[in-house]
Amino acid sequence: MKTIMAGLMRSYLAKFKARKRPFLSFQIEPTSRCQLKCVMCPKTTCQDEWVAGDIPLSVFERISRYFHLTRDVHLQGWGEPFLHPELLAMIRIARAKGCQVSLTTNGMLLSPDRSEKLIEEGLDIIAISLAGASKETHEAIRCGSHFDTLLTNVKILVQLKAKLKSKTPKVVLSYLMTKTNIEELPDAVRLARETGVNELAANNLDYTPTETQDDLKVFSCHKAEDRLEKILKEAEKEARIIKLPFRCYPIEMEEVIMCELNPLHIVFFSHDGSVSPCVYLNLPKSGSIPGIFCGSYHEIPRMCFGNAAEKDFIEIWNSPEYMEFRKVYQNRLDIFEKTYGRMGPLTTDRHELEEAEKILKNDLSRNPLPAGCRTCYKAYGI
């Protein structure tokens, strides 16, 4: 574990302990339906087994009884949120409970009228998916999307914010990095500035159900390619020059103490009401969840601990099975705190840090990730 990771984890723990709401986020899937057929999406490759549906507003309202416990409500899963007819009502309900509300969209249904309503309802963050800095590249990956329409929709949203003198929603372009579009990332930085968005985020293709999709990923299970590192540095440099906030995920794997979708403080609710630790453990398809991990094929069972349409959420959260799953992650955090807690926040002694790293690695090996998480790229910082 790198020293910088230790510092970040200590900072994370300190900030989280200061929060008044125990959950970081409720991620709720409005729908598993989508009008696109993106080449990297499991809906495209698993279409014969895909279960399409919308979350009933009554189920959303049941979940909302506990919104006072979460900081954020993120309206996104495996489908396109704007296909749900009650999406604006969901935003309104979550905002009324004092939650930050965010969503991710492919942007094709982001009409001027809908953009104006999102501003009026107080949506805090909207992430809009982009798969290339050119029409040809984007449309080859996000099949059914129209590059020019997407950019027009984004620009109109930005203009409406200015017209209505609103700081929200924060507009983020979410660039999915693949081997077929990585060369265009520096151009995507410049494109983001031209559209007037607040931020550009370069994300990894972190779930790959087939070998063909796995071959698209740019990150490495070993050492990242120098060529790819150079492209990322060029994009970062360009972002600094034009002063555009830019986040880029690492392209080299390293096991982390806690993945980004922290199962201790984040919950995923599927469109059918089922409750899971994260979106990757609850794919809306029949049968097991297929995946490629570092060249090996595997299947894991869908992991659900109850259904919010049938049971009270707190009852599900406190069920023995869910608690046992979370215990693994709590143990890992305890190991980390025990290993580094005795050090000062500014410790720079190389020998002490190296010794702590060895102890941490050894103790974590005796407390491995849950079976369903060991073959997930998110557990390795991707």
pLDDT of residue 347: 64
pLDDT of residue 14: 47
Confidence of residue 343 (pLDDT cuts 50, 70, 90): low
Nearest to 217 by CA among 250, 168, 261: 250
Helices 112-121 and 87-96 pack at an angle, to 10 degrees, of: 20
Confidence of residue 346 (pLDDT cuts 50, 70, 90): low
Among the residues of 164-224, which ranges form H helices?
A: 185-195, 211-214
pLDDT of residue 38: 96
- Cα–Cα distance between 23 and 69 in angstroms, integer? 6
**Positive or negative CA dihedral for 299, 336, 69, 382?**
negative
Stretch 4-18: mean pLDDT, rounded?
A: 45
Taking the mean position of all CA atoms in its chain, how far away is CA 285? 20
pLDDT tens-place string over residues 366-379: 888 998 999 999 99
Confidence of residue 209 (pLDDT cuts 50, 70, 90): very high
For tokens 């189920």, the residue is 59
Phi, psi of 94 (to 5 degrees): -65, -40
More confident residue, 80 or 368: 80
Q: What is the four-CA torsion angle of 107, 109, 113, 115, rounded to 10 degrees? A: -20
Stretch 45-59: mean pLDDT, rounded?
A: 95
pLDDT tens-place string over residues 22-31: 999 999 999 9
pLDDT of residue 320: 97
Rounded to whole angstroms, what are the CA distances from 265 to 159, 166, 279? 36, 30, 14
Q: What is the mean pLDDT of the chain?
A: 92
pTM equals 0.91
**Positive or negative CA dihedral for 235, 237, 241, 243?**
positive
The three state secondary structure string of the chain is: CCHHHHHHHHHHHHHHHCCCCCEEEEEECCECCCCCCCCCCHHHHCCCCECCCECCHHHHHHHHCCHHHEEEEEECCCCCHHHCCCHHHHHHHHHHCCCEEEEEECCCCCCHHHHHHHHHHCCCEEEEEECCCCHHHHHHHCCCCCHHHHHHHHHHHHHHHHHCCCCCCEEEEEEEECCCCHHHHHHHHHHHHHHCCCEEEEEECCCCCCHHHHCCCCCECCCCCHHHHHHHHHHHHHHHHHCCCEEECCCECCCCCCCCCCCCCEEEECCCCEEECCHHHCCCECCCEEEEECCEEEEECCCCCCECCCCCHHHHHCCHHHHHHHHHHHHHHHHHHHHHCCCCCCCCCHHHHHHHHHHHHHHHHCCCCCCCCCCCHHHHCC
pLDDT of residue 303: 96
Stretch 217-226: mean pLDDT, rounded?
A: 92
Confidence of residue 197 (pLDDT cuts 50, 70, 90): very high
Stretch 81-96: mean pLDDT, rounded?
A: 98
**What amino acid occupies position 246?**
F
Confidence of residue 2 (pLDDT cuts 50, 70, 90): very low
Cis amide linkage into residue 301, ω under 30° from 0: no
